[in-house]
Amino acid sequence: MKALLVLTLTASLCLASLVPEHEKDPEYWRQQAQAALRDALRLQRLNTNVAKNLILFLGDGMGVSTVTAARILKGQLQHGQGEESQLEMDKFPYVALSKTYNTNAQVPDSAGTATAYLCGVKANEGTVGVSAGVTRDQCNTTRGREVTSILRWAKDDGKSVGIVTTTRVTHATPSAAYAHSANRDWHSDGEMPPDALQGGCRDIARQLVENIPDIEVILGGGRKYMFPKNTSDVEYPGEEKHRGTRLDRRDLVRAWRESKAPGKVARYVWHRRELLALNVSQVDFLLGLFEPGDMVYELERNNETDPSLSEMVAVAIRMLQKNPRGFFLLVEGGRIDHGHHEGKAKQALHEAVELDRAVGLAGRLTSPRDTLTLVTLLALDDEREKSRGGSGFSALRRDTRHPVPWATRAPQGTGHPGVTVPLLSPGPRAALLPGRPMATHRVAATAALVRVPPHPTTSLCDLGPLMTGARATLSLDLPIPVLLCLQGTLCHLVQVPPHPHGTTLPCHPDCHVTLSL
My answer on whether 134 and 264 are in the same domain is yes
Taking residues 368-397, report their average pLDDT.
Answer: 54
What distance in Å separates the CA atoms of residue 82 and residue 71, rounded to the nearest whole number?
A: 7
Contact 301, 308 (CB under 8 A): yes
Residue 40 belongs to a domain: no
Minimal CA–CA distance to 515: which of 502, 498, 499, 500? 502
**Distance between CA atoms of 67 and 378, rounded to whole angstroms?**
12
Residue 5 lies in a domain: no
Question: DSSP labels for 31-96?
Answer: HHHHHHHHHHHHTTS-------EEEEEEETT--HHHHHHHHHHHHHHTTS-STT---TGGG-SEEE
Round to whole Å and give the CA distance between 207 and 188. Answer: 10
332 is in an annotated binding site: yes
Residue 78 pLDDT more than 80?
Answer: yes
> Is 420 domain-assigned?
yes
* Residues 385 and 511 reside in one and the same domain: no
* Residue pair 328/150 in contact by the 8 Å Cβ criterion: yes
- Residue 367's contacts (CB-CB under 8 Å, 6 or more residues apart) are none
CATH classification at residue 292: 3.40.720.10
Answer yes or no: 110 catalytic.
yes
The phi and psi torsions of 372 (rounded to 5 degrees) equal: -95, 120
CA distance 33 to 420: 29
**Nearest-10 crossing angle of helices 345-365, 309-320:** 30
* 299 C-beta neighbours (distance < 10 Å), count: 14
**Does residue 116 share a domain with residue 159?**
yes
Shortest CA distance to 351 belongs to which of 414, 305, 298? 298
- Distance between CA atoms of residues 181 and 123, nearest Å: 11
Residues 292 and 412 in one domain: yes
Query: Which pLDDT band, with edges at 50, 70 and 90, does 268 fall under?
Result: very high
Q: Percent of the chain having pLDDT more than 70?
A: 67
Q: Is residue 13 part of a domain?
A: no
User: What is the pLDDT of the chain when averaged over all its residues?
Assistant: 76
Q: For 485-505, what is the mean pLDDT? A: 33
Please tell me the distance from the alpha carbon of residue 63 to that of residue 59, in angstroms, as a whole number. 8
Number of domains, the chain: 2
The predicted pLDDT at position 265 comes to: 98
Amino acid of residue 176: A
Are residues 465 and 424 part of one domain? no
Tell me, yes or no, whether 432 lies in a domain.
Answer: yes
CB of 482 closer than 8 Å to CB of 493: yes
Same-domain pairing of 325 and 464: no
Asked if residues 52 and 369 have their Cβ atoms less than 8 Å apart, the reply is no
Q: Given this model, what pLDDT does residue 93 score?
A: 76
Q: What is the pLDDT of residue 386?
A: 38
Q: Report whether pLDDT(255) > 60.
A: yes
pLDDT tens-digit map of 34-45: 777 676 666 666
Element (H, E) at 424: strand 421-425
Has 341 been labeled as part of a binding site?
A: yes
> Cβ of 77: how many Cβ atoms within 10 Å?
12
Task: Give the range of the structural domain holding residue 466, as residue numbers without chain letter.
Answer: 460-515
Residue 171's CB: how many other CB atoms inside 10 A? 29
For the chain, the residue count is 517
Q: Is residue 36 in a domain?
A: no
Are 465 and 475 in contact by the 8 Å Cβ rule? The answer is: no
Same domain? For 62 and 112 the reply is yes
- 298 and 199 within one domain: yes
pLDDT digit string, tens, across residues 145-198: 999 999 999 999 899 999 999 999 999 999 999 999 999 999 999 999 999 999
Q: Mean pLDDT check: name the lowest of 178-182, 373-377, 379-383.
A: 379-383
Q: Give, for 371, the enclosing helix (H) or strand (E).
A: strand 371-376
**Measured distance CA(134)–CA(372) in Å, rounded:** 32
Q: Is 171 annotated as a binding residue?
A: yes
Q: Is residue 8 part of a domain?
A: no
Average pLDDT over residues 130-157: 93
pLDDT digits (tens, 9 = 90+) for 292-336: 999 999 999 999 999 999 999 999 999 999 999 999 999 999 999
d(CA 152, CA 178): 7
Which phi-psi region, left, alpha or beta, contains residue 295 (left: φ > 0; alpha: ψ -120 to 50)? beta
pLDDT value at position 27? 80
* Pair (332, 474) in one structural domain: no
In this structure, what are the phi and psi dihedrals at residue 504, rounded to the nearest 5 degrees? -105, 125
- Mention every residue, 6+ apart, whose C-beta is less than 8 A from residue 279: none
Please say whether the beta carbons of 154 and 207 come within 8 A: no
- Nearest partner of 445 among 511, 493, 411, 410, judged by Cα: 493
Report yes or no on 352 lying in a domain. yes
Q: How far apart are CA 317 and CA 298, in angstroms?
A: 21
Local structure of residue 153 (DSSP, 8 states): H
How far is Cα 204 from Cα 291, in angstroms, rounded to an integer?
Answer: 17
Both 173 and 282 in one domain: the answer is yes
> Among 65, 85, 110, 459, which one carries the catalytic annotation?
110
Cα separation, 112 vs 130, in Å, equals 9
* H or E element, residue 363: helix 345-365
> Per residue in 416-463, pLDDT tens?
454 555 565 555 555 454 444 444 444 444 444 333 233 344 333 333
Residue 5 reports pLDDT greater than 90: no
If asked whether residues 426 and 496 sit together in one domain, one would say no
How far is it, in rounded angstroms, from Cα 339 to Cα 222?
18
60 and 162 inside one domain: yes
